[in-house]
Each structure stands twice: as structure tokens, then as C-alpha cells.
Amino acid sequence: MLSIVTALYNKLELTQAFGESLRRNPPPEPWEIVWVDDGSTDGTRDWLLTLPSPRHRVLLNEQNLGFAASNNRGVRAAAGETIALLNNDLVLTPGWFTPMSESLASIERIGVVGNIQLNASTGFVDHAGVVFDLVGMGDHHLKNCRTPPNGKGRFYHAATAACWLVRRQTFLGAGGFDERYRNGCEDIDLCLRLEHAGFRHWVDYRSVIRHHVSASRGRSATHDANHRLFLQTWAHLTSEWGRTDWPAHYLAKHRHHAARLNAFKTIDAVLRLLRLKHGDSSWAEKKRKIILAD
């Protein structure tokens, strides 16, 4: 059985649109959905209680706990062996589930399976896996590119939990999301903990959905604390990965927005692609120290 876990906070209109897209494009196997409401005040709770059981199960947090804690609660309550973590600001499309399910079933030592997500407003790529910058922070591969990647997919160090397939035992066996993170970085952190335990993560390019990017809950209030905790834990690895990931990613991300390119960073990226520069960069080291010192 498949258990869909959707943590939500307000944004009733988006939640209803997500639910309708799920109704139109359901997984082709028995499934339930566990809705975890994180203290909504916009009528979401009343709407959730109108949904038919037993397929729809509703958990109501007494106070706002955040994305990590809400999803942990939903996964613990789930009946299925396979978990689909789905944000309430997604728009699911025909055929989204089967490629991800096939990858989860066929890849040895699989951790999480992600997919391609297109920005619902622009149609551009928002997510095709997670890569890292020179500071050590994650970013979405091919973000703002006009054309999604071709092929079956590829392995990444991490993928966004806006849309994941993961085995329940794998998720809980790793301790779930670290609840010290508040609406940011908890998904990348869990991916890296799973990788450290011998798992690997796949982004399936055959599954494409739309995403109202960062519409489901605010991040700004805890942005700095999340980044500090992440770099304290992982910068020794992720900043090194960024030396490979970042140069091409930076140039591609701003390909259609040249005004956003920083001249110093552009030169840095080009020199790295030409293999004329290696190691850390002073601007990245400075930014990393500022984040860690906050």
C-alpha cells in the first residue's frame, strides 16, 4: 500500500487544487492520504474534515510545528510501506507516479526518488535534483532553465522533499527529518544522512509535475538558523562538492537573466570550468563564515 503524506499550513485554494490534481491523476495502486494540518486558520481544517474516510485521514497539530515535525508525524501514522511526501502546492500530472515507483522498486540501496518540477507560474524548470554551491548550500539543478533534461534520470546527493517517494522503513530508520530545521534544509540533511548510511538518491526525469514554488509556508523567519545548522553539519562535504557542481550550475541558472550575473562570480565559474582555478574562493569563504557566525 502507498501512503501519501501531505503537511499543510493555510493556502486552502492551493490545497484544493492539489487534491483535485490527485483525484484526476491518482497512483495506480491502493493508496491513502494522511493530511497533517499545522495550525491553519483559513478554513483549511473545516475543508479537511469534509473529506471521505478511510482514504483521507486527517491529523491536526495543536500548534504550528513546522514542515519537519508535521511530516514526521504523518509518516509515523501512515499505514503504507511506501511513502509519497507531496507538498500541498503541487499540481500532479498524468503519469507522474509510475516512473518514480519503478525506480524505487528497481534501484539497489535506493534512498529517495525525486522528479522534475516545473514552476507553475513560468513553466521553467524549478527542480531537477539538488546541487551545491561553493559556500556549501544546496540549490536546485537547472533552476530557471526553459527545457527539462532528457533521459531516464540520474543520481544526486539530494532531491527536494516537495515530491518524494521513499520507503517508510528507510525514512523512520534514519530518524526522519531533523526537527531542529524549521521549514528549510531538513530534506537535504536527511538525504545526506541516508547517503552516509549507504543509500543513494535518484531523480526520475520521466516524472514531471508543476509546483507553486515556496507557496505552501514561509521560510524567511528561520532562513539564517537553518543555513547555520546545515553548514555546521555538512559544509566540510558540500563545499567541496560545490567546486564541481557550482560553475556550470551558476552560469546555466542565469542564462536567461544575464543582469543577475555577478561579474566576479562569473569569472570564477569560467576559470573553474577551464580548470584554471581550484579550491575555495574568498567570496565563498567569507559568506560561509558570516552564516556560521550569525
Q: What digits encode the pLDDT tens for the residues 111-128?
A: 999 999 999 999 999 999
Give the per-residue pLDDT at 143.
93
SS3 content of the chain, % helix, strand, coil (to 5): 40, 25, 40
Look at the domain 2-220 and name its fold: Spore Coat Polysaccharide Biosynthesis Protein SpsA; Chain A (3.90.550)
- Residue 216: predicted pLDDT: 57
Question: In this structure, are residues 158 and 138 in contact, taking their beta carbons and an 8 Å threshold?
Answer: yes
Q: Which residue shows C-alpha cell 499543510?
A: 8
Task: Say how far apart CA 16 and CA 89 lie, in whole Å.
Answer: 9
- Is the CB of residue 124 less than 8 Å from the CB of residue 145? yes
Q: Provide the H-helix boundaries in 133-261.
A: 168-173, 186-196, 223-253
pTM: 0.95
> For the chain, which ranges sit under pLDDT 70?
215-221
Predicted pLDDT of residue 294: 74
Cβ neighbours for 14, distance < 8 A, ≥ 6 positions apart: 88, 89, 212, 215, 216
- The set of cell numbers assigned to 292 is 556560521
Q: What is the pLDDT of residue 220?
A: 63
Q: Region of 43 please: left (phi>0), alpha (psi -120 to 50) or beta.
A: left
pLDDT, position 255: 80
What is the pairing mode between strands 200-211 and 110-119? parallel
In eight-state DSSP terms, residue 20 is H
